[in-house]
């Protein structure tokens, strides 16, 4: 069912919020409520999510992007088992939870592959997933909100997340949180670009279950204000690290820590700038050619000047 793009124009009136809610309730409570598998209601004037949608047993995809939904969305409960949820470009401030089997849930995540709530008004990463599960999300996207922290991280009860790609770019996370490691989260790709991040909490790459950190293979820390990496950023904690991008930060010296991983294949440290915008990294990584795993090394737009060192023939892109 697709009832998208009914917000209207300057000359043609669209559905009001009341009319759209009525339509969604009719679908969610009518004869087809257990038949509909995909429901698109994006680009409309919806201001809240009807709770009746939680009763649609067969619904695998729900797309409510580009509406005017505000406030906290009420929990859908444990009987709602979608595969894809899209809430992008609204004014959502949070996701409600209910407690099921000792953990907080927004909905049943056993089948969930994609959860996207970018471009909203979230101030915290919602604590609606769990790392204590055999199931993985393909992607969780909370980019371009107003996020400063992880929900329940301060009291040590953050439940964690198992996901391939975790996108948190364009927020306000000034310090890389340790709660992902402490909750034994299993994450492969972390995208934390454009947060103005400056530091790392202690133990943010040290996990109680080291095998979980082995999942981490790529980190995007571009467009932040990082000056140095923590001591636990090494191959002992991330043995299969593949790619790291530290471009457009504030390193004054070459950050060697990621090169400890023999699996490191792509490493970027472009465009380091101080607080005044001047190039601040002058140190060339002498001996970098000894790293036999590197195939891409990107160091452009720094103050390296004359370089007197061997370049490995294995580095295809320099």
Instruction: Find tokens 């904690």 and name the residue.
Output: 237
Q: Is the pLDDT of residue 208 over 70?
A: no
pLDDT tens figures, 106-131: 999 999 999 999 999 999 999 999 99
Quick check: 159 and 133 in contact, CB under 8 A? no
- Between CA 229 and CA 269, with CA 208 as vertex, the angle to 5 degrees is 20
Q: What is the per-residue pLDDT for 10?
A: 82
199-200 and 243-245 strand pairing: unpaired
What is the chain's alpha carbon radius of gyration, rounded to the nearest angstrom?
Answer: 23
Nearest to 292 by CA among 312, 318, 316: 312
Of 34-48, 161-175, 211-225, 291-305, give the lowest mean pLDDT range.
211-225
Q: What is the per-residue pLDDT for 212?
A: 66
pLDDT tens figures, 170-186: 999 999 999 999 999 99
Q: Is the pLDDT of residue 211 over 80?
A: no
Q: Which residues contact 150 (CB under 8 A, 6 or more apart)?
A: 124, 125, 127, 158, 177, 179, 180
91-95 and 103-105 strand pairing: unpaired
pLDDT tens figures, 85-106: 999 999 999 999 999 999 999 9
* pLDDT tier for residue 227 given thresholds of 50, 70 and 90: very high
- Cα 11 to chain centroid distance, Å, stands at 39
* pLDDT tier for residue 9 given thresholds of 50, 70 and 90: confident
Output the average pLDDT for the chain: 95
* DSSP SS3 for 150: strand
Report pTM.
0.94
Q: What is the per-residue pLDDT for 206?
A: 87
Q: What is the per-residue pLDDT for 164?
A: 97
Q: Is the pLDDT of residue 209 over 90?
A: no
Q: What is the per-residue pLDDT for 218?
A: 97
């Amino acid at each position: 069912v697709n009832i998208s793009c009914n917000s209207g124009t300057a000359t043609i009136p669209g559905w009001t919020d009341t009319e759209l809610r009525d339509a969604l309730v009719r679908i969610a409570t009518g004869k087809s409520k257990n038949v509909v598998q995909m429901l698109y209601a994006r680009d409309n004037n919806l201001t809240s999510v009807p709770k009746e949608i939680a009763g649609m047993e067969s619904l695998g995809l729900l797309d409510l992007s580009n509406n005017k939904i505000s406030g906290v969305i009420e929990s859908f409960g444990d009987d709602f088992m979608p595969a894809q949820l899209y809430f992008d470009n609204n004014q959502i401030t949070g996701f409600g939870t209910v407690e099921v089997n000792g953990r907080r849930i927004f909905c049943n995540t056993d089948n969930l592959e994609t959860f996207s709530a970018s471009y909203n008004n979230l101030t915290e990463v919602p604590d609606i997933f769990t790392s204590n599960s055999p199931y993985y999300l393909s992607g969780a996207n909370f980019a371009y909100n107003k996020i400063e922290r992880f929900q329940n991280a301060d009291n040590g009860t953050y439940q964690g997340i198992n996901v391939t790609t975790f996108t948190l770019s364009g927020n306000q996370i000034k310090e890389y949180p340790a709660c992902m490691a402490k909750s034994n989260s299993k994450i492969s790709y972390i995208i934390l670009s454009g947060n103005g991040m400056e530091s790392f909490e202690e133990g943010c790459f040290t996990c109680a279950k080291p095998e979980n950190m082995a999942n981490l293979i790529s980190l995007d820390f571009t467009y932040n204000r990082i000056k140095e990496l923590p001591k636990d950023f090494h191959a002992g904690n991330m043995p299969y690290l593949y790619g790291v991008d530290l471009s457009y930060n504030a390193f004054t010296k070459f950050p060697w820590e990621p090169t400890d991983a023999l699996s490191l294949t792509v490493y970027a440290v472009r465009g380091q700038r101080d607080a005044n915008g001047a190039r601040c990294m002058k140190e060339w990584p002498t001996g970098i050619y000894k790293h036999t795993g590197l195939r891409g090394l990107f160091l452009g737009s720094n103050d390296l000047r004359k370089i007197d060192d061997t370049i490995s023939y294995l580095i295809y892109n320099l």
